[in-house]
Amino acid sequence: MRKYFNVTGLCTPDKHYMVDISRKLVQIQRLVDRGFYFTINRARQYGKTTTLVALEKTLADRYLVIRLDFQVLSSASFQNENTFSLAFASCFLKAVWIADKESAADSTALAELCKREGERDCGLDLRRLFQLLQNFCESLQKPVVLMIDEVDSAANNQVFLDFLAQLRYYYLERAAQNSAAFHSVILAGVYDVKNLKRKLRGDEEHKTNSPWNIAADFDVDMSFDVDDIAGMLQAYESDVQTGMDIGKMAALLYEYTSGYPFLVSRLCMMMDEKLGKESGFASEKEVWTKEGFLAAVRMLLMEKNTLFESLLDKMEAYPSLKQMLRELLFAGKEISYNALDPSIALALMFGFVKKQNHAVVPANRIFDTLLYNFFLSQQETQGEEISLASQKDKNQFVLDEKTLIEAVV
């Protein structure tokens, strides 16, 4: 069975056509080697989990890597310190056992943690949890790297913020007293945990401090460039032999997606699996052309997928974000980049836009067209603003009542 393009869940090199991310892993490992704590915050379906799993394998020779996923924790786990600490301990114990059975069996600190987790009536607060975690780190030959995926599951919870504060305390103590702590901590999610606020005193809400202000900047570009895409297409072409012009196809994919991982793989999947004789293409060779690619773009813009639904949900959840995007994408308003503007920060974090020449611009042509069509279909955008929209100078697909047409203005 040959490989296939994957857009659901984890991508693995033995099953899926995927971009070689080894260069990105080298950059991330450099942060780990320096003992940094940091957050990988990128938009939905940007390859965060795939990157973490690959990084875990890369680091395994030099570090004991403990990879957790907060998706497995229920809302009940965040009721208070005790419930969270016990839930965390349970996940941590399982992860250590998977990562290194020998270390798990020999650690007295882990045995104590296991005892506390088993005797739930005795309670386990964050202070005691971190004392046991510190003892565990101190007892090992290898430095310990902690990875936590899907931290968004807990991002708005006070207990989680207190957990971050403990990580911060032991990180600072490591530098000041040379005491044991996790060598590196990596949090992954959509939200920028670095900017979360923790109340110092409940009666003075204006006095806030970030519990994650120790985090190093994560500047690794996780999007795909043209060469990345071409490498993936080369692997596909070796198996299928369509006769495509790999360079031109990679350039097209990048032009429309700006290297957004889900969009690249989804378009490739559609050309590989969805387009055929029923779509007017006599052969695979005809599919992997500009005409076939544009047919896949039309198909993508017409479908309802999890990424598009997530984007629209974010707009409904944040009215100011929706208004800003409407002005940018539909009314054609130029918006200067301002890092302190909350709406711009949200748009960047969720992947709607990118910074370009001191201005905010659509993240890619697919999102540009998708959202333009969305605003065009909204009742509140009928009337005067239609004339403004019609003046936009761009090549894009426009949903004109029932017909999707390629508009070249």
Question: Considering the chain, what percentage of its residues have pLDDT values greater than 70?
Answer: 86
Nearest of 45, 73, 80, 64 to residue 147 by alpha carbon: 64
Q: What is the pLDDT of residue 197?
A: 57
Rounded Cα distance between 23 and 14, Å, is 19
Looking at residues 230-241, what average pLDDT do you find? 97
If you write DSSP's letter for every residue of 382-400 in order, what string do you get?
-SHHHHHHTT---EEEEEE
Point out the least confidently predicted range of 177-186, 268-277, 348-357: 268-277
Nearest of 152, 145, 146, 148 to residue 189 by alpha carbon: 152
Rounded Cα distance between 219 and 232, Å, is 23
Looking at residues 122-145, what average pLDDT do you find? 91
* Chain position carrying tokens 């009721």: 79
CATH of domain 22-209: 3.40.50.300
String of b and e for 375-391 (b: at least 16 CB within 10 Å)? Answer: bbeeeebeeebeeebee
Q: Which two tokens stand for residue 278?
A: 């029923």
Question: Considering the chain, what percentage of its residues have pLDDT values greater than 90?
Answer: 70
Looking at residues 61-71, what average pLDDT do you find? 96
Looking at residues 133-162, what average pLDDT do you find? 90
Answer for the pair 243, 64: CB distance below 8 angstroms, yes or no.
no
Which pairs with CB-CB distance under 8 Å and at least 24 residues apart come from 222-227?
A: 222/24, 222/40, 222/42, 222/46, 222/47, 222/48, 222/51, 222/261, 223/46, 223/258, 223/259, 223/260, 223/261, 224/19, 224/254, 224/259, 224/260, 224/261, 224/264, 225/254, 225/259, 226/250, 226/251, 226/254
188 strand-pairing partners: 40
- Would you say residue 403 has pLDDT above 50? no
403 strand-pairing partners: 400
* Chain position carrying tokens 């892993």: 25
Question: Which residue did the predictor score with more confidence, 332 or 403?
Answer: 332
pLDDT digits (tens, 9 = 90+) for 307-329: 999 999 999 999 999 999 999 98
Q: What is the pLDDT of residue 201?
A: 41
- Would you say residue 375 has pLDDT above 80? yes
Residue 380 binned pLDDT confidence (cut-offs 50, 70, 90): low
Looking at residues 29-45, what average pLDDT do you find? 96
Residue 154 binned pLDDT confidence (cut-offs 50, 70, 90): confident
Q: What is the pLDDT of residue 401?
A: 35
Q: What is the pLDDT of residue 193?
A: 80
Q: How many CB atoms lie within 10 A of CB 241?
A: 10
First to last CA, the chain: 45
Residue 393 binned pLDDT confidence (cut-offs 50, 70, 90): very low
Contacts of 146 (CB under 8 A, 6+ apart): 66, 68, 182, 184, 185, 186
Nearest of 395, 328, 334 to residue 366 by alpha carbon: 395
Q: What is the pLDDT of residue 196?
A: 62
Rounded Cα distance between 231 and 10, Å, is 19
Rounded Cα distance between 269 and 288, Å, is 11
Q: Where are the domains of the chain?
A: 22-209, 226-302, 307-408
Contacts of 272 (CB under 8 A, 6+ apart): 4, 5, 236, 240
pLDDT digits (tens, 9 = 90+) for 85-132: 999 999 999 999 999 888 777 778 778 878 776 666 667 899 999 999
